[in-house]
Amino acid sequence: MILMKRTKILVVGAGPVGAIAAYRLALAGLEVALVEADAFPREDMRASTLHPPTLSMLNELGLLDTLDAQGLRAPVYNYRNRRTGNVLAFDMAEIADMTPYPYRLQCEQFKVTRLITPLLEKLPNAQMLFQRRLINFTQDDDGVTAHFETPFDIETWRADYMIGADGANSIVRKWLQIPFEGFTYPEKFLTLSTDHPLEKEIPNLATVNYVADPDEWCVILKVPSFWRVLVPVPDDSSDEQILSEDNKTAIFSRLIGAEKAPSVETAHRTIYRVHQRVAERYRQGRVMLAGDAAHLNNPLGGFGMNSGVHDAWNVTGKLIEIYKDGGDADALLDRYERQRRTVMLEFVQAQTIKNKQAMESATGDVTAMEQELSGLLADPEGRRAYLKRQAMLSSMEREATIQ
C-alpha cells in the first residue's frame, strides 16, 4: 500500500522563488513542503541583482542582514557607449525618500536558497525535501495529489494547494498544458566570471554597467568575489568555440586591450538561451505558477529573479489571507494572476525588450537612448521617475492598483 504524505501547501522547486514562498508560508504558521529535484541547492550564478522591493521582503523575513553581509551594495549604475566612450551615471540615492534601500544588492541567487533551506528545516511545520522529481499530479475540488520520483520509490503527496516554482522548463506548467507565449532570442548569451581587477583597467567603472554597442553590447557587474561579464554570441557558433580560451581572450581584448586580455583568468564560463515568454495563465484551479515557470525575460535590468520573488510574495500573501482570514480563495487567487501577469506584461517584458534594443543600437553618434537618458540627467523629476521604474518600485505600485 502506498502511503500518502500530507501538507497544506506544496511548493515545487527550491530556487529563490520557491524557497522564499515556502519560508514565508512556514513563518505564517502554515504547513508547507518544499520539494526539489536536485540533491542540494544548485549554485546558479545567473541572477545576482536584488532590487529595493525585494530587499524589503527579505527584511520582513529576517534574511536581509545576512544577505547584505554576503553581497555588495550598488547605489550607482552606468550606461556606457563603447563607440564614443560616453558614460551616463544614475544614483539611486535620489530616490532615498521612496525606499529604505536606495541601492541594488549584488548577491548571487544561490545564496538566498542556501540561507533559507536550513532555516526551513528547523521549523516544525515545514519540510525541505531534496531528490524528488515531480512526475505528474491531479487536482479536484478539495486539493492536489502529486507523485514524485525519489532514488528509492514513488512518493505521493496530498496538499490543499501547489505552487509551481520549478523553473523555465516547469513540469507543473507543462502538465497543466498552459501555453508559454513569446519568443526566444536568436543569439546565445555567455557569462564569464573573473577576479581580474577590471576597475583598474576600465575608467569610471561602476558596480553595474550596461555597455551599448551594435556589434557586441555587454553587461559588466560586480559580485563580491568576481566581476561578471555578459555578452551575446552568434547562434551559429558551437559551444566549444564560445567557451574557448581564444574567444575569452577576444572578448577581454575588446574590453581592456589585446596586451592584457591573455592574462585574464575566468572562474566560470556559462552559455544560456534567453527568452521573452509569459504563461497564458498563472493559476489553474488549486495550482499556481511563479517565477521562471510563469515568465522569462532577458537579463538587462535584473528584473527576472526579482519578479519571481514578487510573484512568491503576492501568492503567499493570498494563501495566508485564505487560511488566516477566511478569504475567498477563488477571488484572491484570480487576483494573483491578474496582478502579477499584468505587471509582467506591462512593465517587465516591455522594459527588458526596450533595454536590449537600446544596448544594440549604439553607433559612433549619440544614440536615441543616450539622448533620452541625457535628458533625464537634466530633468530631476523625470530622472526620479526613471530610477523608480528601474528599481521596480513603479511595478509594485501598479500591482497594488489591480483588483
User: What confidence tens digit (pLDDT) does each residue in 328-369 have?
Assistant: 999 999 999 999 999 998 887 777 667 666 666 555 555 666
- CA distance linking residue 318 with residue 276, whole number of Å: 27
pLDDT band at 392 (very low <50, low <70, confident <90, very high): very high
pLDDT tens digit sequence for 362-380 = 555 556 667 777 787 788 8
pLDDT tens digit sequence for 62-91 = 999 999 999 999 999 998 888 888 888 999
Closest to 211 measured CA to CA, from 170, 268, 254, 168 = 254
Helix (H) or strand (E) holding 106: strand 104-106
- CA distance linking residue 210 with residue 243, whole number of Å: 22
* pLDDT recorded at residue 187: 83
In this predicted structure, the answer to whether residue 276 has a pLDDT above a threshold of 50 is: yes
* pLDDT recorded at residue 127: 97
- CA distance linking residue 257 with residue 101, whole number of Å: 37
pLDDT tens digit sequence for 290-310 = 999 999 988 777 888 999 999
113-to-108, 159, 279 alpha-carbon distances in Å = 10, 23, 24
Closest to 255 measured CA to CA, from 329, 189, 339, 194 = 194
Residues 6+ apart with CB under 8 A from 330: none
In this predicted structure, the answer to whether residue 35 has a pLDDT above a threshold of 90 is: yes
Measured CA angle at 310 (ends 230, 372), to 5 deg = 55
Indicate the class that CATH gives domain 186-273.
alpha beta
370-to-172, 219, 299 alpha-carbon distances in Å = 42, 16, 20
In this predicted structure, the answer to whether residue 130 has a pLDDT above a threshold of 80 is: yes
* pLDDT recorded at residue 373: 75
Q: Does domain 4-183+276-401 have CATH number 1.10.3720.10?
A: no
Check: CB of residue 63 under 8 Å from CB of residue 116.
yes
What's the number of CA atoms in the CB half-sphere (13 Å) around residue 361? Answer: 13
Higher pLDDT, 236 or 130: 130
Check: CB of residue 377 under 8 Å from CB of residue 88.
yes
| Domain boundary assignment for the chain | 4-183+276-401, 186-273
DSSP code, position 121: H
Per-residue pLDDT, averaged over 163-182, amounts to: 96
pTM value surpassing 0.85: yes
Are β-strands 188-194 and 266-272 bridged in parallel, bridged antiparallel, or unpaired?
Answer: antiparallel
pLDDT tens digit sequence for 156-172 = 999 999 999 999 999 99
- CA distance linking residue 154 with residue 22, whole number of Å: 23
pLDDT tens digit sequence for 307-325 = 999 999 999 999 999 999 9
Check: CB of residue 192 under 8 Å from CB of residue 229.
yes
Measured CA angle at 105 (ends 101, 108), to 5 deg = 150
Strand partners, 289: 164
Check: CB of residue 223 under 8 Å from CB of residue 303.
no
Check: CB of residue 243 under 8 Å from CB of residue 191.
no
Check: CB of residue 262 under 8 Å from CB of residue 249.
yes
pLDDT band at 1 (very low <50, low <70, confident <90, very high): very low
In this predicted structure, the answer to whether residue 203 has a pLDDT above a threshold of 50 is: yes
Q: In what order do the strands lie in the sheet with 180-184?
A: 180-184, 275-279, 295-296
Residues 6+ apart with CB under 8 A from 5: 33, 155, 156, 157, 158
* pLDDT recorded at residue 299: 79
Amino acid identity, position 358:
A
Return the minimum-mean-pLDDT range out of 15-19, 139-143, 230-234, 363-367. Answer: 363-367
Per-residue pLDDT, averaged over 198-204, amounts to: 93
Helix (H) or strand (E) holding 232: strand 227-233
* pLDDT recorded at residue 275: 87
Percent over 90 (pLDDT), the chain: 75
Cβ-in-10-Å burial (0-12, 13-18, 19+) of 3 comes to exposed
